[in-house]
Amino acid sequence: MKKTKKFVKPGTIASYLRAQRKLRRSQAHGNVLHTRDHALEEAPQTNHDQEHEVQMEQEMSIGLEQQGLDQQEINQNSTMQIRVPPPTIATVANEDAITSSAGPSTLKKRGQTAMKAVHARSEENRKAIFLNELNQPIGPDDKTLSEFSSFLGTLARNSTLAPITVTNWRKMPTKESLWEYVQKKYIVPQEGKKWVLATIGDDWRVYKCRVKKEHYYKYNTDKMRILNRPQHIGEEKFKELLNYWNSTNAKRITEVNINNRKRQINMHTAGKKSFARIRKQMQDANENNEVPSNTALFIETRKRQPNKTYKESFDDTSEKISQMQVVQSQQSSENQSVDAFSMVMGGTRPGRAMLYGRCVTPTDLKGKGVSDGSSIKISQNFIEGMKEQMREEMREEIREEMKKQMEEQMATYKSSLQSSMQQQFVSMMSQLQGLVPAMNINQVPAFNLNFGSPEDANSAQQTQAIRARNVSSASSYEPQGQ
């Protein structure tokens, strides 16, 4: 009876234990090979050993020739492997939480950033992103921008929204889906779409580079690479990657990219913070709110910590900074306006404009000059939402003000009405006393009522006068017929 392998859900304890068993088997196999090679190097070679070594070389050459056949067998038997279901948008944050188990490690690592809180954010709680005149994010604050940048990195590592098996970012078929998903979590103006997709593309290439470094170059055969593949990448997808990386075209592109990277000098040390944010911060820190020059920005983004080791030499960068400072000093003494950065670094070059970051070319800067940074672009939806919120707040304030005025008017009207009623009552009782002098008005219940008006004191005086008049009238009254 043919034994079939059971499905193991990624991220569970069972998948972790299986990965650990595979890792131990691969390490044990590597230790045996290392011990055998070390013993062969130390042992003196005899004629028998030399013959055995020649035979091993022949077997290895045959094995290399059959490697293509082995790869075909692996592809044919792929149905026998564990099937990993493709992730959905709901599992975007969970993919980055699974860490790679390749290679022994004694240090506990934090793993990749997942940004689960952002992925769980509803559209009602979206945060707004502000752009500068070059359509680069610069606001509303550093915390939001750092969160936004990390969020875009998680999308680049998602196998559904950004499949790793695509050979070129220009051919990525899910760019519109990526933009729509970003709009569900943040309010980004339409002008920022190019920057957002370019940032995800750069993070996607960096992610592929790290996967290739940790799971391709470390091993010599595809069998070992498949055995130690990343746990968050399905086996079938990883085989597609291996087929591409083993191709002649991919190796040629890799060689060209390596040579191009070696020619790059004067690398910045700004980290993940964009040049647009650094330029804006330097402008805000200036007393006159002046835009920093390219020379000042170059020096700011090439600072080095004294106790940190860097791969690239700082000699060429330091020399160019000194030349720029000399040009600036001459410029100040002669009252001339000269771009020291352009004089030292040379004229404009095709591609990205230096010191401006992603999606800015020399053509974009033509005719614009040096911007004062006062132009900020905000999403129209965000503006409409703010207008509606302001209108609602104004309505609430108007309602509160009208309610307060009505209460004051009612209090005034009530006080005036009470005063008028009391005066009428006093006048009526005075007339009644004139008609019936013998009547004692103190026995009238309504006469002793307290109206609570502001003129209580005046009413009390009138009441006392009436009572006094009643007493005098009663003493002089003589009934007829006695």
pLDDT in tens, 386-416: 677 777 778 888 888 888 888 888 888 888 8
Q: State residue 404's pLDDT score.
A: 87
3-state class percentages of the chain: helix first, strand second, coil last, to nearest 5: 60, 0, 35
Q: Are residues 469 and 425 both part of a single domain?
A: yes
Rg of the Cα trace of the chain?
Answer: 43
- β 130-131/186-187 pair status: unpaired
What is the tens place of the pLDDT at every residue in 3-50? 555 565 666 777 777 777 777 777 666 655 455 444 444 444 444 444
392 located within any domain: yes
Q: Which residues pair with 187 in a beta bridge?
A: 128
428 located within any domain: yes
Q: Are residues 255 and 304 both part of a single domain?
A: no
Q: Are residues 465 and 402 both part of a single domain?
A: yes
Q: State residue 383's pLDDT score.
A: 67
Q: Are residues 118 and 228 both part of a single domain?
A: yes
Boundary-marking domain end, from 228, 262, 296: 262
Residue 343, token pair as written in the block: 């004089």
31 located within any domain: yes
180 located within any domain: yes
375 located within any domain: no
Range of the domain at 358: 275-365
What domain count does the chain have? Answer: 4
What is the tens place of the pLDDT at every residue in 183-202? 999 999 999 999 999 999 99
Q: Are residues 256 and 314 both part of a single domain?
A: no
State what percent of residues in the chain have pLDDT above 90. Answer: 36
269 located within any domain: no
267 located within any domain: no
Q: Are residues 325 and 347 both part of a single domain?
A: yes
Q: Are residues 254 and 282 both part of a single domain?
A: no
Boundary-marking domain end, from 262, 284, 307: 262
Asked if 278 contacts 359 with a C-beta cutoff of 8 angstroms, the reply is no
Q: Is the pTM of this model over 0.75?
A: no
Type of residue numbered 335: N
Q: Are residues 385 and 330 both part of a single domain?
A: no
Q: Spell out, as residue ranges, where the chain has pLDDT lower than 50.
A: 33, 36-90, 97-105, 370, 451-454, 457, 471-472, 474-482
Q: Are residues 71 and 117 both part of a single domain?
A: no
Angle between helix 142-156 and 175-185 (nearest 10): 150
Distance CA 120, CA 115 (A): 9
Boundary-marking domain end, from 337, 365, 393: 365
Q: Are residues 254 and 120 both part of a single domain?
A: yes
Q: Are residues 21 and 129 both part of a single domain?
A: no
1 located within any domain: no
Q: Are residues 302 and 396 both part of a single domain?
A: no
Residue 13 CA to chain centroid, in angstroms? 31
Distance CA 330, CA 336 (A): 8
User: CA geometry: angle at 223 spanning 219 and 229, to 5°?
Assistant: 70
